[in-house]
Structures are given as structure tokens and as C-alpha cells.
Amino acid sequence: MLSDNISRDENYLLHFAGQSVTALAEEYGTPLYLMDEQRIRGNMRMYTKAFAENFLPGSRPLFASKAASFKAIYRIAKDEGMGVDCVSCGEIATALAADFPAGDIYFHGNCKTDADIRYAVERGVGCFVVDNADELLALERIAAGLGVKQRVLLRLSPGIDPHTYAEVSTGMVDSKFGAAVETGQAMELLKLSLAQPHLLTEGVHCHVGSQVFDEDVYERTIDIMLPFMAQVRKETGVTLPVLNMGGGYGVRYRESDKSVDIPGRIAAVAEHFRALCAELDFPEPKMLMEPGRSIVADAGMTVYTVGAVKHIPGYKSYVIVDGGMGDNPRYALYKAPYTVYHAGKGGVMMLCDLAGRCCESGDMLQPKITLPADTCRGDLVCVATTGAYNYSMASNYNRLGRPPVVMLSDKGNYVAVKRESIDELLGLDN
């Protein structure tokens, strides 16, 4: 099995987080997002432990909540001592509604409106990660108006290719995110920030990409970011105390994917970081990181009911399910791979495409998979590793309600997000 929270019992029934997927589907219906709370907590602890062991006090991992944003996640993050990164007022509001401390929120995004900025400053959001000069000046104006000195980090683009999908590669010089170090725009933004009386420039941020497996990506990033910080000290006399390295560690979507030894990688990154600080005679900054996918991806599974099986002789077979790109657009967006399990059958397998119910030929969950040849209407099919960027990217295309998120916990399962009803869908229409 792809992950050790997936297993089969003696009757070949699929279990997730130790519970029968068939029983869960009977109780909550399909399509259904399942989340394994212990796995989320375990992944968060892995990061907080690695940070405590490897970086200065005050260093911490922040959960990149764009990967999965609903109240239960922020409660868990708070419990586990994580900060969070939010990219919209909606995410901030969700965190605050879950009693997540505003001061532990980092506000990201490359197009924060004046209304967004005011919303976050008024609520005491701890730190803005400022993407560009337009935002910086708007933030200064709004912070001044509210009489606040706002902590900021500046998002830089270090010019690193993390060798991942183009759509989730974000640290190249021509990226839409941040200010490029190579072109001198990062230094300009930094000096502009230092000149603002209502901004406290704490440091710099970068995020080079997501689903990153290459061993040296963060070391190569540090090799750009730390010399930049040393150059800032030289040109301005200011020693920035914080470096945020973004998120990005990859997870296994298929058996053929490597697994990343995250504690081992963090230890190696820290060693490289300390050595370069010593070489540059630069006081070690506090380190922040923003893992999203590697915290929640393997804590998720989506369960569907088969609606139809279609064999097109000489061509292909489709297994069509009651969900699709509405609850998981990642294959449609960038051909993201997934592993698919039948919830209760084995035996002779057939090659097929797992298609969704939306009116788009591109509504595909995964092509060229194998499922039991006798798969039929009413069977349950499960897609693994759907905890990250599935619920959070879900839409109402074709006016389908989004599935519920059921949190599986050894203290008792609970519905973290309810199924979206037709009345709720109609609620916004006049």
C-alpha cells in the first residue's frame, strides 16, 4: 500500500486510518473526503521536532493552510504549536474562527487588495509576506492610518529551478511571485521596506516550488538567500533576523515515487545553513518553513461510488464515479498522478480511466489505472493521498455540492466540513 495508514482486512476490505472505508461511506455517503487526524498531527510533530533540534529558538514551521483550510485544521495546528500561512481573508477568517492566534498568522499572496490589507492589520495578523512594491506602499499607508507598526517579510525570487511541475514552480527569476534577486529588484524592495516608518522588516522569504524531491533544492536556495542577507547588511547596516524558506517537500502519489526523509533533509539543510552563516560571518537567522502538502496529503483519501462502467471495444474502458474535477481538479490542471484502490474487490484486473461526472472530457481523476475487471455500478473506489489541494481547490462546477470532510480520529470521528447542500448552493442567488 502507498502509505501505512492504508490497509486491507481479511475480507479484502480497504481500511484507512484503521477504519473500514465501506462502513464510512455507508455512514457519510459519497463522494467523501476522509482525513486521518493522527497522521496530520504526526506530520506536524515531525516538523516541530526537527525545527527544535536544528534551528535557533524562535524558528518554527508554519502550516501552509492553502493545502487544506477549514476550522479543524487550524485547531490542530494550534494544538501542535505550528504557526500558519494564509493567503486570503477567507483563510484568515477561518483560522480566527477556530481561535487560532492572529499573531501566529503569516499573510501571503501576490495581490492583496486594500480591503484585504486593512482586514488583516485590524485583526492583528502577525506578519505580512509582502510580494511587491505596490503592496508594500499600500500596507505602509494602511498601517500608518491605523497607527500600527506591521511586521513584514519580503518575498524574493531566488532564481532556482526546483525541477517540479511548471504550474507549481515559483522561485524562477520570471516568476509572478516576489522580487527577483538577480535583477536587483529584491534589493530595491528591501531598501524601500526599510524606509517605511510603519513597517518592521524582519527578513526575507522565498518559496521555490511544490512537490520537490531534488536533494539540494533548499541548499541551493540558501546559497542565494544568505549572501543576499549579507549584502543587505553591507549596503544598509541592517542584519535581518528571519529567513523563511517556504514549503515544498514532495509526497508519494504513486508507488514509484521516492519518499522524502523530511527530518533528515531538514538536518542537512540546517548544517549547510550554519556552515554558510559561519563562512559569511552572518549571525544565524531564525528559520521559518511553510510545509503544506507534506503535512496533509497522505492524511487524505477520497471515496467515490461508481456510477457506470463503459467499455469501448478496441479503445478503452471508463470507470465513472460520482465526483471528479469538482472535488479534485489536480489531474485536469496539471496531470497530477494518483493511486486508486477498489474498496473491496481484487482478482483479475482491467486497464481503465477513472473519469468524473462533470461535463468536460478533461474531467478525469486518473487515466490508465487498473481496477478489478468486475467493477460495477455501486462499488466504491478510493483515491489515495488527497489531503492536500483537493478540498481547498474544490469548486461547484456543474452546480455540484462539495463533499464533506470527515476527520478520522481515535477519539471518535467527526464531520469537520459538512456536505454542501443544494439549498446552500442556491443561498447566494437572488
Ligand X SMILES: Cc1ncc(COP(=O)(O)O)c(C=O)c1O
Burial (Cβ within 10 Å: 0-12, 13-18, ≥19) of residue 411: exposed
Name all contacts of 16-19 with Cβ < 8 Å and 24+ positions apart: 16/301, 16/382, 16/408, 17/408, 18/408, 18/410, 19/408, 19/413
- From the CB of residue 70, how many other CB atoms can be counted at a distance below 10 Å? 19
Residue of 22, 294, 305, 366 interacting with ligand X (CB under 6 A): 294
Does 329 sit near ligand X (CB under 6 A)?
no
Residue of 116, 290, 327, 363 interacting with ligand X (CB under 6 A): 290
Does 265 sit near ligand X (CB under 6 A)?
no
Nearer to ligand X, 118 or 293 (CB): 293
Least Cβ distance, residue 264 to ligand X (angstroms): 17
Does 319 sit near ligand X (CB under 6 A)?
no
| Sole window of 73-81, 225-233, 284-292, 308-316 interacting with ligand X (rule: CB under 6 A) | 284-292
Least Cβ distance, residue 106 to ligand X (angstroms): 9
Least Cβ distance, residue 82 to ligand X (angstroms): 13
Residue of 291, 324, 326, 356 interacting with ligand X (CB under 6 A): 291
| Sole window of 28-36, 42-50, 142-150, 241-249 interacting with ligand X (rule: CB under 6 A) | 241-249
Does 207 sit near ligand X (CB under 6 A)?
yes
Does 83 sit near ligand X (CB under 6 A)?
no
Binding mask 141-170 for ligand X (x = CB under 6 A): -----------------------------x
Nearer to ligand X, 109 or 356 (CB): 109
Q: Specify whether the CB–CB gap between 171 and 208 falls below 8 A.
A: yes
Least Cβ distance, residue 234 to ligand X (angstroms): 27
Binding mask 363-392 for ligand X (x = CB under 6 A): -------------------------x----
Residues 244-263 that bind ligand X (CB under 6 A): 246-248
| Sole window of 118-126, 291-299, 351-359, 399-407 interacting with ligand X (rule: CB under 6 A) | 291-299
Indicate if 359 belongs to the active site: yes
Nearer to ligand X, 207 or 345 (CB): 207
Binding mask 43-82 for ligand X (x = CB under 6 A): ---------------------x--x---------------
Residue of 15, 60, 108, 220 interacting with ligand X (CB under 6 A): 108
| Sole window of 26-34, 243-251, 304-312, 320-328 interacting with ligand X (rule: CB under 6 A) | 243-251
Amino acid at 324: G
Nearer to ligand X, 85 or 91 (CB): 85
Amino acid at 253: Y
Q: What is the Cα–Cα distance from 220 to 173, expressed in whole angstroms?
A: 14
Least Cβ distance, residue 167 to ligand X (angstroms): 10
Amino acid at 368: K
Compute how many residues bind ligand X; rule: CB under 6 A: 16
Helix axes of 262-280 and 217-236: crossing angle, nearest 10 degrees = 30
Does 298 sit near ligand X (CB under 6 A)?
no
Residue of 193, 210, 221, 385 interacting with ligand X (CB under 6 A): 210
Of 86, 89, 277, 359, the active-site residue reads 359
Q: Specify whether the CB–CB gap between 153 and 202 falls below 8 A.
A: yes
| Sole window of 23-31, 94-102, 130-138, 240-248 interacting with ligand X (rule: CB under 6 A) | 240-248
Does 22 sit near ligand X (CB under 6 A)?
no
* Residues with a known catalytic role: 359
Residues forming the site for ligand X (CB under 6 A): 64, 67, 85, 108, 170, 207, 210, 246-248, 290-294, 388
